[in-house]
Amino acid sequence: MDRTKNSQRSLVALVVALLLGATMLAPSTAAAGPRARALAGGSASAGAAADEQPEKYDVVVERDVPITMRDGRVLRADIHRPAIKGTTERAQGTFPVILVQTPYGKGVGNSGLGAMNPYLVKRGYIGVIVDVAGTGGSEGQSMLFGRSEALDGAELVRWSAALEGSNGKVGLLGGSYLGIDQVFTAAAVGKNSPLKAIFPIATASDPYRDLFVAGGIVNMTSSLGLIAGYFGLRTLTPFAERASDPLDALRLSLEHGLAGIPFELTTGLNALLENGRVHDSPYWQERAPQNVLSQVVANGVPAYVVGGQYDVFQRGEPLLYSGLQNAWAGRSVYAPMNRTQRVTSRYQLLTGPWDHGNQGSTVDLDAIELAWFDHWLKGLDNGITDTTKPFHVQEPDGSSYDVARYPSEAATYRRLNLQDGKSLGTRAPTAATGSDRMLYKPVSLACQRAIVQWTAGLARDLYAQCSTVKELTAPQPGDLAYDTSPLARATRIAGPVGVTLRVRANRPQTMFVVTLQDVAPDGTVTDLSSGALLGSARAITPGRSWASIGDAYGLPYHPHTKAAERSVPVGAVTRYDIEVRPVFSTVPAGHRLRLLIQSGDTPHLLTSPGRLLNALGGLYDVQHNAVAASFVDLPIASGALPAGK
């Protein structure tokens, strides 16, 4: 590769880093430095099997290989092959293929976005990384997980299986967009295909609810920020990927840029004008991996999912696990798992204290990947599937445990009621009246973990600094905060959290952002998780909602369609069921739990001008009485909650 091409690739890599985070989606970076071992199930033996395999090969790369698709479009791939140690001569023999499909540029490097993991190639795998249609050096229209992209994936699997030197077996790897494409490809390949296993990292179940909106409120940082970054990358990466042909690079850049009008521009305008894609629709349903999980299972493709408790897809990753397990058991992919249903180790999830930019940073993710692919693509009995509890959790304090189901069979919902004196406890209110007032504020600038989560980890250092300043983490004027008394025992929360508020408002639009927090004895605040709801989007789909206690929900499902929207009845007590993304954390004894209730989360959750006008001047009376109770339902695996007042 000449110096010019190196410089161009470096420029694109820099742009990628600035837009979306240099460490994001990097399977190979997870192994750097010492790691705590967190391998699945019979994982000690799987880890040993992986660690006993030293590098056998070097890597030789064939750049920009053209692939002519079924309709004449040309996609381009880099092929990473095992080479004889110390040489650039291809190793003899046949090897399984690891296929990566990326929109971020296939040649940005050996780590980071769109990367091929050299760890696997050096241990006997062929790596194929392809620019998806309409990105990088590939022709066509980018569909953002549309049906044609899934069909491309199935075609690429067959092409990879037939490569010279392939043993005919293919696995899929990658994170975020690359992980979502894996699920759709696995659903499209059909039965008895060469695809034998997938390894999706940081992957959505429902991009509309996981990324684009929170409770009907557009997430400006994660959705529109991603859209802008995606558009920029698609117009820039052709110059790196087709550096050998500048005219073709210019052609592709212009084509990719013009193709942004029906996707990026349309989505952005819809968000600002609160129409079209700002609501759930067939457009989004076609792009929800959860909807094709039954087909993945029917095609016989095993999956190991990796997710993060502070990831942008924090909500969706456990739902992929429950959906796959339910499909295998013949149940609805949208239902909570039955507490006694059988599970299979063909479908596993590892979740830890990671955001979108540092997935797997506290485990040896390379070793897990290798063990998974060695088992399914090479037939090695290495223990990776020797588990009856395939849901693996690493908590923020480093402790870990395994369960079988989601919601966890080890957890039971317990209720904390909002009480007089801004307290929170298990004792139900008995007074006929009681409420606290909060104000609608379109701007909220508190220091909260949301700035890390929705920037894909880019603001991690900023949060680390501001979270030490108690004035920045304390409730702001106009907000409400309800605290338990100190916990008598360490209390483990494990699963989805539901909040029900009953509120009287003076405006036809309301907005709630709730955050569950851990407050240490010295006042240090740690955000556990959060959720939001736009008042007009409060409608519930009971058949898709997961129950907690009585008629309340641990995971409420809102349809978020235009037809389901209803103005808030002014002056009447109205019920709001708010989904809080799942928590997997143990709160130490002596700490308090806090429910923080706000009406904004700047700059992430911003409402459109029309909704803003209907919300301005809002006064919210949050009820906490025997007639109209407000509460949070927590999945408690161990420990005890205080009674309160």
The domain 21-403: what is its CATH number? Answer: 3.40.50.1820
Domain ranges of the chain: 21-403, 412-638
User: Who's near 46: CB < 8 A, 6+ residues apart?
Assistant: 39, 40, 367, 368, 371, 375, 382, 383, 384, 386
Report angle CA 420, 423, 427 to the nearest 5 degrees. Answer: 80
User: Who's near 265: CB < 8 A, 6+ residues apart?
Assistant: none
**Fold that domain 412-638 belongs to in CATH:** Jelly Rolls (2.60.120)
Got the DSSP string for 557-621?
-----TTT-----TTSEEEEEEEEEEEEEEEPTT-EEEEEEES-BTTTB---HHHHHHHTT-EEE
R_g (Cα) of the chain, nearest Å: 25
Q: What is the pLDDT of residue 273?
A: 75
- Per-residue pLDDT of 41-70, as tens digits, reads 333 333 334 456 789 999 999 999 999 999
Q: Tell me how far apart the 2 most distant CA atoms of the chain are, in Å.
A: 81
Whether residue 496 has a cis bond before it, omega within 30° of 0: no
- The pTM for the full model equals 0.92
CA dist 526 and 512 (Å) reads 20
Q: What is the pLDDT of residue 264?
A: 72
Neighbours of 357 (CB within 10 A): 25
Q: What is the pLDDT of residue 10?
A: 39
Element (H, E) at 19: helix 3-20
Q: What is the pLDDT of residue 47?
A: 38
CA dist 116 and 79 (Å) reads 9
Neighbours of 37 (CB within 10 A): 14
Q: What is the pLDDT of residue 522?
A: 95
Q: What is the DSSP letter of 178?
A: H
Q: Are strands 303-308 and 347-352 parallel, antiparallel or unpaired?
A: parallel
CA dist 172 and 128 (Å) reads 10
CA distances from 537 to 224, 315, 558, 592 (A): 20, 18, 7, 31
Ranges of the chain with pLDDT below 70:
1-52, 109-114, 606
